[in-house]
Structure 1
Amino acid sequence: MSAMGSRLLVVDDDLVQRVLISKIGAKLSYDTVVAPSFEAATELLDREAFQTMVLDLSLGERDGVELLRFVAERNLKAMSIVIISGCDDRIMKATRRVANGLKLSVGGCLTKPLDLNRLRSALELPQRSPLAATTASPLLPITPDRIAQGLAAGEFFVEFQPKIALQTGRVIGAEALARWRSADFGMVSPLVFIPIAEEAGLMSELTDCILSSAMSQGRKLIERNPGFTIAVNISGSLMSDLALPERIEEILRRENIPPSALTVEITETIAMADVDRANDILVRLRIKKIGTAIDDFGTGYSSLAALARLPFSELKIDQSFIKGCVSDEDMMKIVDASVALGKAFNMKVVAEGVESPEALEIIRRVGCDVAQGFFFAPSLRRSRAERWISQRNSSANGLIASPAETALAS
């Protein structure tokens, strides 16, 4: 049994590839099962649950796209899929679009011969991503009471995903991502527990817990790296609470963290739901020297209105545009225009979801200030984040990012 309770299915008709991928999976504490054919894979998927699947597109007489359709039909959409192939890059990009159209979770598309560091990073994604599926048993449904017990028991914590300044290559901040390791359920996805907490009115307590954890665990990062900021997402249900700025300020005071070291991230749709209240809250946060970021920019109906009416200090371009800009000219235009808008409003512009050197080159060229994503590093536990950031910032060659960085000097 793996340390994380994670199971990996390797679907490949090449014995050498299966052995190689299985060894990397074992190093990441996966419980690995192999399938040499389409038929063997479908039998396994019908009777067993897997968190991650590595899929070769060429499977003898069958192909990987057929298996993607099978996965979608069985509604196994929480499983992260890493697609590998000897096909050219255009076919790989088209395959990713097929998977996206089926609403599947794609952890990576890797061409052969495999870059082992990129493979390792892709396999780490479901263990560290908010998209990771809950391991909860259906016989033990997650209830508001269980979330409250988890809060009382200290089961919630944060991981940090580094944010890199593109001009210098230094890590200048991190996004703190909520995590729950439950004694009953194992690792539970935020996509599962946050909606339950929202509906039960527990978001105030949960946010206070996550914010306190982010500040206390991030203290060394802030102290060792001048100007370092930690970003924390704020739930939509809290944007009607006019006492929120004072609560945040009290947590910062209690953790002895300067307000300038915190950035509060709010999605544009949430901010525009009640503009007057959002404006009240955001203005007071800015007065207190707390940064405010408009998150997932471009995905809502009111992007321009949010920029014009609300005092954000940072604009985060949604990862769907960043991932698409490499192969889609229209996505490229959206990224370019978003950067220009951010600059026009004197905002720092952050690119989320940077996963390739091509995407990195594009966002640098159009003038993004900061980048985060799996090309640099996944979200990391505190000690690993401290080590990774220290190593990167002490490197004279920090500007040249490499997928090898995500191996993280275990």
Structure 2
Amino acid sequence: MTTSTASIRASKRDLVTEVPGPRSRTMMERRGATVARGVGCAVPAFIEAAGPGLLHDVDGNTLIDLGSGLGVTSVGNPAPEVVAAVHEQVASLTHTCFLATPYEGYVAVCEELARLTPGDHPKRSVLLSTGAEAVENAVKIARAATGRTAIVALDHAYHGRTNLALALTAKNAPYKQNFGPFVPDIHRIPTSYPYRDPKGMTGREAAARAVEALERQVGAENVAAVVVEPIQGEGGMIVPAAGFLTELTDWCGRNGVLLVADEIQSGFCRTGAWFASNHEGVVPDLVITAKALAGGLPLSGVTGRAEFMDAVQPGGFGGTFGGNPVACAAALAAIRTMRERDLPAKARRIGEILTARLTAIAAVHPEVGEVRGRGAMMGAEIVHPDTGLPDAESADRLARACQEAGVVLLTVGTYGNVLRFLPSLVMPEDLLGDALDVLEDCCARLFG
């Protein structure tokens, strides 16, 4: 523990050294000596504690966190309810593989997933550890349920870093470079990217373009599933045009194809609804969850129509740590917090603030080409103002300037040129306002 003890940590942005500070720089040297270089690092400040919307580093600096551990700590970091549930569970049972001897927590999480995911049809779930693991199992389910093998993903998609998940992921570097060959019978079709689609293209037109490519390249009769992110996170916080998802869902229904919604980043109140699919009334056949599900602990799941989920033979699902008792206790506490504190409404309020402030910044700085997103899942695309082409260099400079001023802001996107805003849903509004003040000042300094 440093001089930044729990009793004196700041409750607002507070810099006592440069970022990264001397202790963080020393620890980065240790990191380089033993951690594989392929493990990335966006902000080289070592964190030892956190608070509502804040990160406290080993040098005594307090940073405003607009990343939430890549969308994980939506209910707070640490969330008191999650901490209490974890302490109680750890004291009684840390692990017994659910495949060997079951326990109630696993069942209770599956019951919550059945209640919360879109649709009122009978549902089943399987619990796992990571988002990529859940993606892999969703593909297994789709193939078992349909007897088909082809899996279709979208341009700009991101579905994880395991071999099959990488095959579904669109961006090559750094995710896929040098890691092939990938799982076969994975196909890619155009998505709806309103900012870069032909001017005036509607969601229905974008869906027709996607379906035409799918039918021509793959054939509907061969497709087990179409896997979509209702809002594409890593691809650049891309919100498809209205009608795109509904048209694609309807096509799947007509052709016996499963519509799989990857809600790993967009789920659990992040967009102002429990799931991003809710915004267009889409009811997926399978829903993949992770990230915010367990309030900071590793837990993921696939929830789907009972007849599809039960197409997998007994023993076909597995994993030593999937649905670990401690993670399940954390998930139940996190979901309870989301419900009791009405975090969908909190996310909508955050979205109003972000939209207003970012739109005002964009009006002054044409380098901010578009502001988009829903709720507390927002992006700002940085472009060359004269051409509208992606400007990853300026996006990186802007993010680093904010980081040096005490705001953790990350870039994302196929072109690396989108600022990603994923604040905690319990972040105090004054902290969010301060972070946006910093961004505004950095834009004025860098863009003029």
* TM bucket normalised to smaller: 0.3 to 0.5
More helix by share: 1
Higher RCO (CA < 8 A, seq sep 6+) = 2
More strand by share: 1
How does the TM-score come out when normalised to structure 1?
Answer: 0.34
